[in-house]
Amino acid sequence: MSAGKDFQHPLKRARGLGSAQSGVSHWWTQRVTAAALVFLSIWFVVIVLSLLHADYASARAVVAKPWNALLLVAFVLTVCWHAVLGLQIVIEDYVHTRWKEVALLVLVKFIAVLGTLATLMAVLRVALGA
Amino acid sequence: MADTQRPLSPHLGIYKWQVQMATSILHRGTGIALAVGTLLVLWGVFSLAQGEDSYNQFRICIGSPVGLVLMFGWTWALFYHLCNGIRHLVQDSGAGYAIPQFVRTSWLSIIVSILLTVIVWAYVLTSGGAA
């Protein structure tokens, strides 16, 4: 820091470098998705158990029910979101080569987004009978 | 990694095994396993949209010995991550940090997750087995 020429207040400088006021959002979103998944994953286990002996037509009929289709999409979306947040922490903790870390973080996000969109399409195909 | 000769924390060698370590490590481990297992959920949904043949193929795969072992593992991983996740949510509110409670709820997560896994698989087996 060169003294004399810099009229910027130290606080102004700190604001640019420090908290972007979003530090807690990762933590909070992880908790909110976790709370949602408490209910969604119990629902998912019950649905899977109900499909144990179902043939193709009846399995399709179960997933095609509006509530089930909605909750299935909600479940996969929330799982992927929660998994991205969780895997991000694991990768940041253990992968110490910067380019590998960034590549893995982006790869996980790509897979999660593609997986979510593909599930949405598949459930729509089942629900709308296409 | 910093190139330094000073002692680094944590001193892993001096820790004696504690259940809180196990629950913490297992929470990460099961989290990673469940993220991978989600791909199986996606496969199941795709196969259902794809048609009867691919759905039957999916059922044969998860009903195979390897498939059943994986399903069993994922059942426990899900219940463990669920139970311990609820424990973490409670702790996030500031409760349960006294050491005896912390240890007790660690064991509770492990025991309840095993119980739920046994209940689910008892249901699977008594209702005529998987697949």
pLDDT value of position A7: 77
pLDDT value of position B128: 75
Work out the mean pLDDT of chain A and round it to a whole number: 90
ipTM summary value = 0.87
Burial string for B23-43 (b: 16+ CB within 10 Å, else e) reads beebbbebbebbbebbebbbb
The 10s digit of each residue's pLDDT in B43-93 is 999 999 999 999 999 999 999 999 999 999 999 999 999 999 999 999 999
Asked whether the predicted pLDDT for residue B30 surpasses 80, the reply is yes
The percent of residues above 90 in pLDDT, for chain B, comes to: 79
Hey, are the CB atoms on A122 and B45 less than 8 Å from each other? yes
Taking the CA of residue A56 and the nearest CA in chain B, the distance in Å comes to 6
Interface check for A53 against chain B (CB to CB < 8 A): the answer is: yes
pLDDT value of position B12: 67
- What does the block give as tokens for B85? 């996740």
Q: Evaluate the CA torsion angle B98, B83, A105, A95 in order and state its sign.
A: positive
Local confidence band at A18 (pLDDT 50, 70, 90 cut-offs): low
What is the spatial distance between Cα A55 and Cα B116, in angstroms, rounded to a whole number? 26
- What does the block give as tokens for B74? 């994922």
Taking the CA of residue B55 and the nearest CA in chain A, the distance in Å comes to 7
- Name the least confident of A1-10, A52-61, B41-50: A1-10
Work out the mean pLDDT of chain B and round it to a whole number: 91
Query: Rounded mean pLDDT of A4-15?
Result: 72
pLDDT value of position B3: 61
Hey, are the CB atoms on B42 and A119 less than 8 Å from each other? yes
Taking the CA of residue B18 and the nearest CA in chain A, the distance in Å comes to 22
Among B41, B23, B25, B120, smallest CA distance to B75 is for B120
Query: Rounded mean pLDDT of B97-121?
Result: 95
- What does the block give as tokens for A109? 């996000």
Chain A residue numbers touching B32 (CB-CB < 8 A): 86-87, 90
Q: In terms of CA atoms, which chain A residue is nearest residue B121? A: A49
pLDDT value of position B108: 96
Q: In terms of CA atoms, which chain B residue is nearest residue A50? A: B124
The percent of residues above 70 in pLDDT, for chain B, comes to: 90
Asked whether the predicted pLDDT for residue A10 surpasses 90, the reply is no
- What does the block give as tokens for B47? 């196969």
pLDDT value of position A17: 63
How many A-B residue pairs are in contact by the CB < 8 A criterion?
80
